[in-house]
A and B are shown apart, each in its own frame.
Chain A
């Protein structure tokens, strides 16, 4: 499930995040290939050889060219900024009435998931907890920490948010794919940071209701 297909899309938000990855990756590769080519052409074509024994010119400035290669990248980064601004706004948009609210607390080395009007789940690195979420419903997550800085990260949803002691940070997540997703701590937090995992199981809304009823009886 993890790192098999990429970018994996497990939520509505991560569809937009994957667009950002694609645009920036292709853009970066295009620029890199262009400049790598220029470097290699210059490096090979102008190497010293019997046909090229001495420098052909001592010209050291070309103002129109220099202005051009200042303006062109400037326009490019302004365009990239517009893209990134729009995508971030879409990813961070908040629903007025989320169907599920979960308060996430990170601690050394485990997680507590407290559902509003529902169960509270807890698990440490020895037995990581599992967060169950309904497909297609908006989940509001409130992230905090009770000791050091952690980060709530679901790699297959391309998203993390830091869990900082003393403050609560909120975001929405709308699962768009059934299945179990690995989650983990994204900010170094000491000895068992590597093992501070959790999982997110996305089920149908009907199964979610059954799960809530089951948890209520526990």
Chain B
């Protein structure tokens, strides 16, 4: 082929605005997804700062109740639907084709559609704040009858419904792409049992999305019908049922929390394996545990309803307890991956170990609240707030930062600074625990969640002011990350193709990878193709 012919086959890459809007390249869609979620994260984080500022002192009047209710509703909705879950979708967009050795996603245009629906869905949820009565204010769970039009009269609730329905459909589109790509676009030699663990975790996540998100879409639709078309589906005056809403919502809502964590189990597994210089311990067990968690999580939804007196508490308690078993398997495998290794403490690895420390507390307190007698106190108290922040915040959020530091050089070709990165980690780790540890005690002592104020006296004022101080440490940690990005971008320290000595396929291509992902693939004979290449080279040298 002549040089002129080659130039025709691969046109030069364009980087103007139009090329970003029209792109179907899995990597660019991934960058758009992740970039958007980081912006949403900044907004949702600032909303949390408003919450903590209001709660620093008892009886504070910085926020009036209606503003407070909108703020915590948007904070929860954004963090769950617009930050933690879609960041994982963006990362999977970027990584799955690279990890399986494919030139793009199975359905590139569906992939781009997914991103744009997600973006506009998210913007619509926030746009509710510009309506007459403000944004949705019924909590991220939006229980009926509170969210019915008789009580929540504002348009903000409708914006919330429509926006989330779009995000829900977008997630299903993304999941279709992930599963199809991982199943049928694998490179020669990349058998299922050689797939990198992150791709496996995304397959499990995608199956959960298939099972759970249709229930969310249907619930949102029914709520809309109730509000505007006289549906009375959830209206007890017409034989409808608020309990039915809770069943439908949590049938989505509990699998959703595993959609929020399984991808990050994958991230942490990759990071720990690379920086320990060892293969992932118990690979088969890790994959099976992911599917066990996914399967069990479909049968635990009513543990959110222990205090209704309307569900079979022992059944849902038992299935919830069982999830501790596959989760325990994962912990022991992570520890054994480090065991016997030579651990390099990069920022990514620090965040991964931080994940282990925090998520463990989220896990054991999860077993606590799965016990109905204990939950009779903990339900809807700050104990539950502490518990799920230790899983989604101390867990997923820390793994999200591990992912940023770990894959950033692959995406941009330059590294994030390690010194600022490590300082940011320690600040975030300390800030996180100072913020959320006191909340276990607040909840056990009887402070309900979703309250804009509390009475003076007792231990609550002290616990709350400590939590607020921690929140400001977290804010500082966030600012430090932004500073690090700016400083590192200026310094532009070249990363090379494989800066961390990783062994999975994404490290076999250039940084950033070409539009079609790979110029050439190494032979794939195990789950760590680059390890095999390295061994072969060493054997040849000796």
Contact = CB atoms under 8 A, between A and B. Distances in A.
Give the interface centre of A2, A6, A91 by most chain B CB atoms within 10 Å. Answer: A2
A47 B318 CA distance: 39
A166 B241 contact: yes
A122 interface: no
Interface string A1-31: 0111011000000001100110011011101
Contact of B242 (A36, A47, A81, A165): A165
A196 to B, nearest CB: 9
Contact of B340 (A21, A55, A162): A55
Given A88-B313, A162-B307, A47 B343 contact: yes
A149 interface: yes
Interface string B134-154: 000111000101100001000
B351 to A, nearest CB: 13
A191 B353 CA distance: 41
B187 to A, nearest CB: 22
Interface string B287-328: 000000000000000000001111001100110011011001
Given A2-B445, A192-B65, A80 B371 contact: yes
A165 B324 CA distance: 35
Contact of B374 (A21, A69, A81): A21
A188 B139 contact: yes
Nearest to A32: B364
Contact of A80 (B338, B341, B342, B367): B367
Given A69-B328, A77-B325, A164 B371 contact: no
B280 interface: yes
A54 to B, nearest CB: 5
Interface stretch (B219-227, B427-435, B448-456): B448-456
B452 A39 contact: no
Given A35-B331, A59-B340, A160-B377, A194 B454 contact: yes
A46 interface: yes
Contacts of B377: 17, 21, 155, 158-160
A57 B367 contact: no
Given A169-B308, A188-B380, A73 B365 contact: no
Contact of B373 (A36, A91, A169): A91
B145 A70 contact: no
A61 B368 contact: no
A17 B373 contact: yes
A61 B310 contact: no
B360 interface: yes
A56 to B, nearest CB: 5
A16 B373 contact: yes
A134 B185 CA distance: 72
Interface residues of A, number: 84
Contacts of B236: 165-167
B539 to A, nearest CB: 15
A62 B455 CA distance: 55
Contacts of A186: 307, 379-381, 448
Given A55-B341, A73-B324, A77-B325, A60 B310 contact: no
Given A77-B321, A147-B145, 9 more contacts: A25-B368, A43-B353, A48-B343, A60-B280, A66-B333, A80-B371, A84-B371, A166-B236, A191-B69
Interface of A: 2-4, 6-7, 16-17, 20-21, 24-25, 27-29, 31-32, 35-36, 38-39, 42-43, 46-48, 52-62, 65-66, 69-70, 73-74, 76-77, 80-81, 83-85, 87-88, 91, 108, 147-149, 151, 153, 155-156, 158-162, 164-167, 169-171, 182, 184-194
Interface of B: 65-66, 69, 137-139, 143, 145-146, 151, 236-237, 240-243, 276-285, 307-310, 313-314, 317-318, 321-322, 324-325, 328-329, 331-336, 338-345, 353, 356-357, 360-361, 364-365, 367-368, 371-374, 376-377, 379-381, 444-455, 457-460
28 contacts: A2-B446, A3-B458, A7-B444, A20-B373, A20-B374, A24-B374, A28-B364, A32-B361, A39-B356, A46-B341, A47-B342, A57-B340, A59-B340, A77-B325, A80-B367, A87-B373, A148-B143, A148-B145, A151-B380, A155-B381, A159-B377, A164-B308, A169-B308, A171-B309, A186-B307, A190-B69, A193-B450, A194-B65
- The 3 lowest CB-CB distance pairs between A and B, nearest first, are A166-B236, A155-B446, A3-B445
